[in-house]
Amino acid sequence: MLTLSVLDQSVACAGRPQNESISNTLALAQRCDAWGYHRFWVSEHHSHPTIVGTAPEVLMAAIAARTQRIRIGSAGVMLPHYASLKVAEQFRVLDALAPGRIDLGVGRAPGSDRRTSILLNPDPRASDNFAQAVLELQAWVGEGVSTEGMPAGHPGHGVHAYPLGTTAPTLWMLGSSDFGARLAAQIGLPYAFAYFITDGEGTDAALSLYRQLYRPNAQHPTPHPLLCVWALAADTEQEARRQFQSRARMRMDRNLGRLGPLPAPEDAERDWSEPERAALIAMRHNALVGSAPQVAEKLRALAALHGVEELAIITWTHDPAVQARSYELLAQEFQLQPA
């Protein structure tokens, strides 16, 4: 049976204050908790005029206080910006607030431009130490009542990330290339592939590497791949296609280096070049957009094609009610039930 989860990016919308995007994320998390989704993840971006979720650990704390059962996670913490110990402490506090419900997803990408990345961490080679930082995080987060922390010889030996509890965050590797797949396999972590970023390119190669190289461990005896996909359902295919115009415009503008708030569907048209028109036709043809039965069929086919049992759905719409309706329709179509 296919498991459905959510990734929300707190997207800025034209004509609305950005703080409303954060409020909308909180409201959506509560609804997805009630509708039976398995996880609700939030992302990290910096100085990005389209995606205004900059502090997933803060947003997760607010979601934890407003939900009952859904798992809450980061997709992800951009680890090269931070000290592993501090991240471990933050997520152990989160686990104390929502025991057994916290996912700690980490990524190597900056989630920003180079100048912003340097301001967050002046070390320009911080990402080169990503694998070591993940191992440190794994040691400090641990899983269970206690953790031994760093081995002898490490500068952090004898230093612990508190508070400890009967549960601990689950560490996830995020990626859109072979690098993340290999590292997740070598360490023995669940792996989330950013299908929505690559439009599927490289998916088979990354998942094959992950499965072939996977090293089982006590916490994760088998590989657990997940695909993050963009999808939009509405009460009719026509309405879904209309709402998709906002997302299509953003994708086309991004290719030109133009970033900004998500436009309303009625404002999404502009003068397209001939190459852009061809790209739009291909985008609309491949998009996971339509009525709930149509989208559900596409999601099931995609999961079967890549042999995954869990999908995290991302949906951008200018109207938050349209976004919520999409998740509600898919919950009904897949007959999700709160645990």
Distance CA 248, CA 286 (A): 12
Whether 102 contacts 95, CB under 8 Å: yes
* 76 occurs within a structural domain: yes
Residue 145, number of CB atoms within 10 A of its CB: 10
Q: In CATH, what number is assigned to the domain containing residue 268?
A: 3.20.20.30
* 338 occurs within a structural domain: no
* 64 occurs within a structural domain: yes
Q: At 195, which helix (H) or strand (E)?
A: helix 195-198
Q: What is the pLDDT of residue 147?
A: 59
Identify any residues that bridge with 71 across adjacent strands, giving them in sequence order: 39
- Of the candidates 112, 116, 168, 121, the residue with the CA atom closest to the CA atom of residue 140: 168
Q: Domain range spanning residue 154? A: 3-333
The alpha carbon of residue 185 and the mean position of all alpha carbons in its chain are separated, in whole angstroms, by 19
Q: What is the pLDDT of residue 273?
A: 87
* 92 occurs within a structural domain: yes
Q: What is the pLDDT of residue 271?
A: 85
Q: What is the pLDDT of residue 150?
A: 75
* 210 occurs within a structural domain: yes
Identify any residues that bridge with 77 across adjacent strands, giving them in sequence order: 106
Residues 6+ apart with CB under 8 A from 333: 233, 292, 293, 295, 296
Q: What is the model's pTM?
A: 0.95
Distance CA 203, CA 175 (A): 10
* 61 occurs within a structural domain: yes
Total domains present in the chain: 1
**Count of alpha carbons within 13 angstroms of residue 198, beta-carbon side:** 17
Mean pLDDT (10-residue bins), the chain, 339 residues: 96 96 98 98 95 97 97 95 96 97 94 88 89 93 65 82 93 94 96 93 95 95 97 98 95 88 94 88 92 98 97 98 98 90
